Structure 1
Amino acid sequence: MESATAPRFAVVIDDDADIRQLLVDVLTQAGFQAIPTANGLDGVAAVRQFEPVITTLDVNMPGMDGFETAKRIRAFSSTYILMLTALEDEIDTLQGLDSGADDYLVKPFRPRVLRARIDAMLRRPRVVGSAAATKQAPAAPAAATPAAQAPATEQPAYAAPPPLAIAQEPVPQGAFQAVPVTGAQAPAVSSAPPAPGQSGWMEHNGLWLNIDTRVVRLRGTELELTRSEFDLLAALLQSNRRVRTKPDLALLLRGESYVTTYLVSEADKRAIEVHMGNLRKKLSENVNSPRWIETVRGVGYRLTAPDSE
């Protein structure tokens, strides 16, 4: 007998049986159908099969480690990746984020902290379905569902949870893989800059961002930003010249902008530095003479003065 709603899947990738069971228990309590796997290859296969909303991924595994596993998953899936690691060095944090993780948690961890991190990620905008499914969607003009990958069913492998209410006419942002913007509603297809009063657009020194469609354009070219990079840039544009601190931005990425009860560690602050560094690279920003983002040493970041060169 079929359930009224499709299950929400979560994939657990961890070679430690005790931790794997703990993760399954926490995710099950959160309303997910958890799929446990013990190595990277099986984990990648499970993500491909079940299209999970969230994937937890251990770093230190025999054979294919968590960094390589995350890269392979990101090649076809937009699942949230929460990386679990016993490594606290900065280089390991940077490598995890660069591999495609959305967030990370250092072992040992408390189940309530894990649940809070998961809930925070689910409050952030995401692409529905896998990146591969998104790219195939335009080829099915008569399809009623946006992610019809399985030929024998009319429903996708899972349904997005209620907290992930996607705004009307979303534009896939492709956090780690470029997804072309299509359709008559996409304002970024024109080479001319948007009109100043056009809905959703913000501009600073020739850099345009649309908060509704999550599109960023510079010199007529659409930039491919991750979810975190987009959210940080949007926060700075909305703040004008007001300084945003690293703890403030770290809470923002967790979806806890106005809640200060969560610990912001030094690793969280370094993660913001990594995201900002990657964002500046994509903007071709000169850190010695920035045009868009200034570093306020010891505090955080803010926009440059208007029309700076």
Structure 2
Amino acid sequence: MSFIDLPPWLLSLLLAPFGLVLGSFGNVLIHRLPQEEPADRNVVTKASHCPGCKAKIKPWHNVPLLGWLWLRGKCAACGWKIPVRYPLVELLAGLLFAASPWLFPFGTLIWFKGLVCGFALIVLFFTDFTEMMLPDVLQFPLMALGVLLTLPQVLRPEALVKIWTGSGNLIQALAFHNGLQPAPAWSGFEPAVTWQASLIGLAVGYGVPALMNQLYKWIRKTDGLGMGDFKMLAWLGAFWGWAPMLGILFLGAGLGAAVGLPLMLLRRNSDQAVSGQTMLPFGCFLALATPIVVFFGRALWLGYLGWVG
């Protein structure tokens, strides 16, 4: 028997609404976690309210995507313009859930791990983009979770689950394999992320960028990376192991340079550009680099070695 006897397309339709609702909660996290006052950071008991006039949002105005469209992007009470980021986050989370059965075997540990990582990256991307901040309250639990997710495969390494592919075939997947494995639109096993690799990834993810930052600080007399960036690399290392984490670091640095250098040239007459202190949300580039490395890192690395050879 399969874990749930439904084809991937139907699973996508069922999962998408959950993603939209979680995306709505993601907007709450993005707005509230960077706040200075503890009461303003409350995401559990404090009701949803307009950031402009503080009026409570009515339930039918809070429906993901539809509420923003109905209100035409403005608060019903004061007319405060609701940023397009709100429906965008909801849409991305809905697409993440809808795409998940096509990327990972549904109901397995790697499927759950992919969803958690993807949702965390969405929240951290927009938090860093809007506030230049990567909240500890999210990143520290993710570090612990990354290590804990390596334990089920130690206890039940041979547990199997059956899933339907898009072509109607029934395939078997390892329920607790902590690495990529066959799914309806993905083939090939990746090495499992062991608890040892997770702990090394956690330590190296924090340590390597910290050393790089110290070297940059020694040369330029200022920080090149923020502490939140170290912590983000630490939990990504705990999730995917030390080697993918290093790939994420260097690809993220490359993406940051591709954006930062043109900005410095455009601002060459400003004091910011002269001092070389153009601020960039590096967490955004790490978030963009993560799915590329997770899905295509090994192929890109082997292609690079073949090209060099």
TM-score for both structures, normalised by structure 1:
0.29
For the pair shown, the structure with the greater C-alpha radius of gyration is 2
Which structure has greater helix proportion?
2
Ranked by relative contact order (alpha carbons within 8 Å, sequence separation 6 or more), the top structure is 2
Which structure has greater strand proportion?
1
